[in-house]
Structure 1
Amino acid sequence: MKQVSMQMIADALDISKNSVSQALRDAPGVSEETKKLVRSKADELGYKYVKQNKRIQGEFLILATEFALSQVSFFGEIIKSIDYNCTLKNFKTTTLAVTSEMIQENQLPANLTNYSGIFIVSHITDDYISNIVNQGIPCVVVDHHSPKFLTDCVLTKNTDGAYSAVEFLIKHHCKKIGFIGDIDFSPSYLERFRGYQRALKEHDIDLDSKILITKIKENQAELFSKLKEIKQMPDAWFCVNSGLAYILNYYLQSEKYQIPEDISIICFDNTEFTQMSNPKITNISTDLSYMGKQAVITMSERLAVPDSPYIHKQILPQLLELGTVHPLNI
């Protein structure tokens, strides 16, 4: 059997032999991503090399509610990305669920000062987050913000995303567009409502209160009840998340509407609900892996310059056209 060489690894990855050598020696000059790819390929091919023992630089705490942690295809993707990008920087991560009892009793996690920094994923309560931020430990809040606490945040550009989604419907000849989402549930949903309003206003379409569902729990029974009260369905619906869009699509088809021929649907977020739905649901969504990466970059910047001004980074979501908006007849 031919002996595995560095050149064979280089050829397999289409990089230089020198880059392979640097990666295996953990030398500067190649990225952490390249080092990981090289080590993986070396292990796969059976190349023997001295594995470097990297010194852990510290540990980050990732906090999220039990509800957020249950949303595997959304917040789970963000947390997975945070964990991966922390590993690249030689930081450990610990993920902790914040229970309803902890929130009610204002009970903070133990040993917070043992951590180099804290990632808070999604909203808990503003008061609870404020108490964590006030401990003086570097914090990055992901997918939530509030004037009640002052810290770095990584967010979706919700208003512009919603505007783009609704404008997309308008360009597809939808004139009567409904809205579904609890605007009191989070700042994100309120921002999406504002983007919806702005798109209608700028295209001279009146806001119709009869097709606005702005107070709604995300369950089938309540949404079905609200929809049955609507006497005339709009041309299209904009939903603040994919779960509501999935329930909406199911309801409309149970009422014998053809989707998208009779009614179009568009929503925020690309999750298992947009993919499982039949037809798949057109959506406007943020790259969740990139959001997690930006959270780690933001934390690194904070640790490097602790006294710098706090920042909010906003990621512009992208439209993914799948199947629930009627195609243009061109």
Structure 2
Amino acid sequence: MTKSKITMQDIADHLQISKNSVSQALTGKGGVSEETRKLIMQTADALGYVYNGNRKRSSDQEEKEESTGNIALVATDFAFSLRSFFGEIYLTIENEVQKRGKKLLIQSISKQMLTDQILPPFIEGREVDGILILSHLSTEYMNTLIDTGIPTVLIDHHHPDVEADAILTNNRFSAYRVVKYLYELGHTRIGYVGNLSFSPSYYERLEGFRLAHYELGIELNPKWMISDALEDQEFIEKRLQELDEQPTAWFCVNDGLGFIVNSTLYKMGYQIPSDISIVSFDNGQLSRLATPKTTTMGVDLGLFGKTAIQQLFWRMEHTDTPHMELLLPTTLIERDSVAAPRG
């Protein structure tokens, strides 16, 4: 192996078994036979796997670790900067942790930490009982956190290669409801604005958008599918001005894009909603600052924080239970940016 740091996934790939089996063996949990456990331990030693905290545990030497009284919350610098969205989640988490008599330890993960796979000292030293990951970190870094064996819950992010519980918005059904709502008002020419490379949530919203079109028998127009959108006025202006005709409604995957689409269409001479309707997502400040105020899918940020804490504390007591994803509902908040299409 030429990798600088051997992970549980490397061991799993080498033995052609699941990463979960490797984790169970290396952290002393049940679920694998003693023969498999020994094979995994031998392979880990041969490959040079570094045991976190220099602890090797087998079925006959399991340790009951004492509670540290601490919970970790980690996120990128960028995620922590989005106070209008993640700020309320963080405040709810802090409050819920305190209610349970624990202390919240917070670490912003820099680009350098991501690149060099540097863990926060209180996680490296196993000074926390659980880890909350807020929004997106690199898949490799998230797996490095999970490889510590400390119970971990993801908030507003998930990935097929990350084996951890996740608290998510029900993105597919929410986008489906947007299209159906517009369809019931008479819209059949609906566009999508989002960036699929930015977040799995935006891809899922596109899936819900497509599903609604399929079930309702509406034709999708590829020209109205802007799936590489940047939250940039110049970018949106260029893309919308290139169209030979506009849809009667735009679905924007967040309020920032909804705000920019609104102002761009206004500059192009369109009236909202008499000419074109707009629906966005998140119920953030920009949806309320827009003129007219934007109809949006509201996300209960407090519920995100409460559910994440409930799941983490449950996971800390049920470490061997299969991982799960919990989908939280949204609420359609009708404002002034939507009307029935003309004609």
**Fold conserved between structures, TM > 0.5:** yes
Residue 276 of structure 1, aligned match among 285, 289, 293: 289
Cα distance, 1:57 vs. partner? 6.9
Residue 95 of structure 1, aligned match among 90, 106, 119: 106
Residue of structure 2 in register with 1:38 after alignment: none
SS in 2 for 1:243: helix
Residue of structure 2 in register with 1:207 after alignment: 220
Q: Separation in 2 of the partners of 1:260 and 1:237?
A: 11
Offset from partner CA, 1:213-253 (integer Å, 9 cap, x none): 00122222212221121121110000111110011111111
Cα distance, 1:327 vs. partner? 5.6
Q: Separation in 2 of the partners of 1:253 and 1:185?
A: 27
Residue 261 of structure 1, aligned match among 248, 261, 274: 274
Residue of structure 2 in register with 1:81 after alignment: 92
Q: Separation in 2 of the partners of 1:221 and 1:109?
A: 39
SS in 2 for 1:74: helix
Residue 60 of structure 1, aligned match among 71, 74, 79: 71
Offset from partner CA, 1:79-104 (integer Å, 9 cap, x none): 11111111111111122211122212
Amino acid paired to 1:251? T
Amino acid paired to 1:98? I
Cα distance, 1:105 vs. partner? 2.1
Q: Separation in 2 of the partners of 1:224 and 1:130?
A: 39
Is 1:249–2:259 an aligned residue pair?
no
Q: Separation in 2 of the partners of 1:231 and 1:80?
A: 46
Residue 181 of structure 2, aligned match among 168, 187, 194: 168
Cα distance, 1:321 vs. partner? 0.6
Residue 131 of structure 1, aligned match among 129, 144, 158: 144
Spell out the pairing of 1:1-330 with structure 2 (5 A cutoff).
58-112=69-123, 113-326=126-339
Instruction: Say if 2:274 and 2:341, in contact at 8 Å, map to a contact too.
Output: no
Amino acid paired to 2:167? V
Q: Separation in 1 of the partners of 2:292 and 2:68?
A: 47
SS in 1 for 2:112: helix
Offset from partner CA, 1:35-69 (integer Å, 9 cap, x none): xxxxxxxxxxxxxxxxxxxxx97111111111111
Query: What is the count of residue pairs matched by the alignment?
Result: 274
Amino acid paired to 2:194? G
Q: Please list every run of 5 or more consecutive structure 1 residues that lacks an aligned counterpart in the other structure.
A: 1-55
* TM-score normalised according to structure 1 size: 0.80
* TM-score normalised according to structure 2 size: 0.77
Q: Separation in 2 of the partners of 1:239 and 1:127?
A: 30
CA-based RMSD of the aligned residues comes to 1.6
Q: Please list every run of 5 or more consecutive structure 2 residues that lacks an aligned counterpart in the other structure.
A: 1-66
Amino acid paired to 2:239? K
Instruction: Say if 1:59 and 1:93, in contact at 8 Å, map to a contact too.
Output: yes
Instruction: Say if 1:57 and 1:90, in contact at 8 Å, map to a contact too.
Output: no
Q: Separation in 2 of the partners of 1:273 and 1:82?
A: 24
Instruction: Say if 2:187 and 2:340, in contact at 8 Å, map to a contact too.
Output: no
SS in 1 for 2:84: coil
Runs of 4+ in 1 over 4 A off after TM superposition: none
